[in-house]
Homo-oligomer: A and B are copies of this chain.
């Protein structure tokens, strides 16, 4: 099966290029546009200068839509979808357009329905700490709003300044505080969803416990906008602890990293807010390209001899005691070299920046890179990174490994200096990683979803019977298949 997938030229890395428009979808007409103008007013129907909505932010995926709609209410969105469903016009729902897998831009000429104008914060209940918002609110804005209540949204993403809550929920976003808060779906108490036929399904709720019937809202969380569009959400927010601090630890092997993780988990337990690792390649990439960032250890990292762990501690009390306990434990790790503690908020931010700019640093080294966002047993993370490095030793590449060690989530960036080697590298790496993950029961998409990029690879992850059921679900909710076509499902 796998062999076939990767050897068949139609199905290999360039899958996307071989897609053809499904001509069952109607082509947009002037009449359609007038109808949308009637619903939204002409200000919220955009036909000119819409390139930014057709392209993803990495400039990797480009669609050819001629129309972007900006509904301002559930009712307007409902009317749009009802019309599109009746007329078989394909639609791509667009949130902050910050995804990495081509999920939020059109593939061909789908109408873009952008949610950014549905951006009201509706209500916050201080007793229950439940925030009710429209789907188009920016993640960071919610956190700014919640500061007055010493609360925060129970997830955090690099794209927080531009990603929207509806997109976060539709992709079941992960991020750096997964260790602290668990999955996003654990804290979504209710949703309002507009179905592809325009019907509004009100599954809103502000209560934590409700065992009445099949929990339908779970289907919309993480299904990447193929079943419905999320217009409102009730989010269980979290109280911020009084204090937080950050340790940045240097060890001499990957095994030490695992030891550090185990000791941090044991010592801190619920006070462990985040734990991230990076190899020397990642560290050096940041230090070489991000000139504004201080090197906390004042020396270049030695390949295969320097590994780093960032540990964020959150606590309501006795921070010093926690730090001392942890530091004591770290001394017992055989390959422990050094640890630096943030002395103030500025240093806290600076140290986080080392970890958070690995992706940007990789891009600065070369604009051609492959990014993998995968899950696997933490014991295998470094091995896989090394294996890929070895496989590519005859190419002009750098392979950097880093990620959320507390969540079994590995990021690998392959920095490619010579663009002409792109296809060759892809053909070596892609099947290897995906087959390996299948073998070790990992995930080919830990955080970012399948989108357009990985829709065809779902069978590596889920049995055929499950894929068949997913397709049946799609048929129930979207019998005309107008919503986010070509994405997520094969």
Contacts and interface: CB of A to CB of B under 8 A. Distances in A.
A448 to B, nearest CB: 7
Contact of A219 (B206, B212, B219, B379): B219
Contacts of A186: 182-183, 185-186
B211 A262 contact: no
Contacts of A199: 465
Given A239-B269, A269-B239, A463 B201 contact: yes
A489 B213 CA distance: 7
A78 B469 CA distance: 18
A195 to B, nearest CB: 8
A378 interface: yes
Contacts of A267: 316
Interface string A246-262: 00000000000010001
B316 A207 contact: no
Nearest to A180: B270
Contacts of A266: 239
Interface in A167-185: 171-172, 174, 178, 182-183, 185
Contacts of A128: 377-378, 408
Nearest to A320: B318
- Which of A210, A409, A467 has its CB near the most chain B CB atoms (within 10 A)? A210
B183 A375 contact: no
A148 interface: no
Given A270-B241, A318-B321, A469-B476, A209 B377 contact: no
A20 to B, nearest CB: 23
A212 B325 contact: no
Given A317-B322, A463-B201, A443 B210 contact: yes
Contacts of A376: 207
A450 interface: yes
A472 interface: yes
A191 to B, nearest CB: 11
Contact of A441 (B206, B214, B404, B461): B206
B377 A127 contact: yes
- Stoichiometry, copies per complex: 2
A407 B205 CA distance: 13
A441 B205 contact: yes
A221 B215 contact: yes
Interface string A268-286: 1111000000000000000
Contacts of A365: none
Which of A182, A199, A209 is the most central at the interface, judged by chain B CB atoms within 10 Å of its CB?
A209
Contacts of A182: 182, 186-187
A485 interface: no
Nearest to A475: B476
A317 B266 CA distance: 11
Contacts of A472: 476
Contacts of A441: 204-207
B211 A447 contact: yes
Contacts of A314: 270
Interface string A306-344: 000000001011100110010000000000000000000
A2 interface: no
Contacts of A375: 207-210
A241 B269 contact: yes
A39 to B, nearest CB: 21
A470 interface: yes
Contacts of A171: 211
Nearest to A444: B212
B466 A208 contact: no
Nearest to A461: B212
A213 B265 contact: no
A222 interface: yes
- In the A-B complex, the 5 residue pairs with the closest CB atoms: A186-B186, A218-B218, A209-B446, A210-B443, A318-B318
15 contacts: A128-B378, A172-B211, A172-B215, A182-B186, A185-B215, A206-B441, A209-B409, A209-B447, A210-B375, A210-B461, A211-B222, A213-B462, A213-B466, A214-B473, A215-B221
Given A203-B462, A206-B441, A207-B375, 13 more contacts: A125-B377, A127-B258, A178-B209, A201-B469, A204-B441, A207-B376, A207-B408, A207-B443, A210-B461, A211-B449, A213-B461, A213-B466, A269-B316
